[in-house]
Structure 1
Amino acid sequence: MFLGEFIHSLDSKGRLTIPAKFRDQLAAGLVITRNPVERCLLVIPQARWMEMAEKISALPLTDPRSALLRRAIFSAAEDLKPDRQGRILISQRLRDYAQIESDILVAGLHTFVELWQPSLWEEKVLQPLDSGNIDGELFAALNV
């Protein structure tokens, strides 16, 4: 399970040190790709990736939205295995997509991880929280 927010800096080669809390879950391998909805990157454990890839592949070939999703996810996907220091190389192409330069926000989202440029995280996640965009009714529906 991936939980928490962490700020890390990429090294001079574009490598991210995965937060220690997440390393065991990603040690067997991961896939990093674009998030087609937001300007961030998805980091998905290999086993979870296979489940998601099957679902995407099962979408109708003739549906233009399915084709766009398939292209956005698969064409940018890179399968990686962390090195002995728990680092992964994030390609320049993916860093450009997510507007990541040196600092990177690593957000655990239960079954996967998102990588954000910190000011975009502030704009897309923290500011809407401050604005009350999640109302009590939605949270109450969880019955917690």
Structure 2
Amino acid sequence: MVQLLGEFDCKLDAKGRLMVPSSLKKQLPNVEQEGLVINRGFEKHLVIYPKKVWEGIVEELSKLNPYEQKNREFIRYFTRGATELTLDATGRVNLPKSLLESVGIEISAELVLACQFDKIEVWSKKAYDALFDKEPEDFAVLAEEVMGNKNRRNDGE
């Protein structure tokens, strides 16, 4: 499984190209051969997946019952605009203008690439910084709510 780490400040050039930071590229050793896929995230950001990860997601989506309206809608919204990316000879990827516009990222914008497990979130720097303006006062309470029961023993102890 891919395990990506780090946050990277970047900037789109005037043509909407993104230089993949070398330390991130090292975490994606076969990216030139395998490729990447980008699509919309659940908030106002984009998500880049290694192609093999995307293929796993598509496999999961294909198991959903297509006769249920919620499933069709989810698949439609989730895959809308999904695009393959390839690195050019200098390590840049061209981000689709339609996807950038859909999340409010302008050409020549400052970006943050935020790695999460097997994906890379692409945020405008301004939107990413604003996320952490809403950080809970007591992060420990959120951690307990989300993760608190994960290690609970079920054997009565």
The TM-score normalised by the length of structure 2 is 0.80
What is the CA–CA distance in structure 2 between the aligned matches of 1:42 and 1:116, rounded to whole Å? Answer: 9
Q: What letter is aligned with 1:6? A: F
The worse-fitting range, judged by mean Cα deviation, of 23-32 and 110-119 is: 23-32
What is the CA–CA distance in structure 2 between the aligned matches of 1:110 and 1:4, rounded to whole Å? Answer: 10
Q: What letter is aligned with 1:33? A: N
1:5-84 correspondence to structure 2 within 5 Å: 5-24=7-26, 25=28, 26-27=31-32, 28-35=34-41, 37-84=42-89
Pick closer, same or farther for the CA change 1:44–1:134 going to 2, 3 Å: farther
What is the CA–CA distance in structure 2 between the aligned matches of 1:85 and 1:94, rounded to whole Å? Answer: 22
CA RMSD, Structure 1 to Structure 2 (Å) = 1.9
Find the residue that maps to 2:67 and give its secondary structure.
Answer: coil
- CA shift, 1:75, in A, is 2.8
Which deviations, in whole Å up to 9, do the C-alpha atoms of 1:8-45 show, x marking residues without a partner?
A: 1101110011121222413330000111x211111000
Find the residue that maps to 1:47 and give its secondary structure.
Answer: helix
Unaligned runs of 5+ in 2: 152-157
**Identity %, equivalent residues:** 26
Aligned pair count reads 141
User: Contact 2:40–2:80 (CA<8 Å) still a contact in 1?
Assistant: no
User: Contact 2:46–2:122 (CA<8 Å) still a contact in 1?
Assistant: yes
Unaligned runs of 5+ in 1: none
Find the residue that maps to 2:129 and give its secondary structure.
Answer: helix
Larger radius of gyration: 2
Pick closer, same or farther for the CA change 1:134–1:16 going to 2, 3 Å: farther
Find the residue that maps to 1:123 and give its secondary structure.
Answer: helix
Pick closer, same or farther for the CA change 1:134–1:68 going to 2, 3 Å: farther
What is the CA–CA distance in structure 1 between the aligned matches of 2:72 and 2:138, rounded to whole Å? Answer: 35
The TM-score normalised by the length of structure 1 is 0.86
- The answer to whether the aligner puts 1:93 opposite 2:98 as a matched pair is yes
Q: What letter is aligned with 1:117? A: S
- CA shift, 1:47, in A, is 0.6
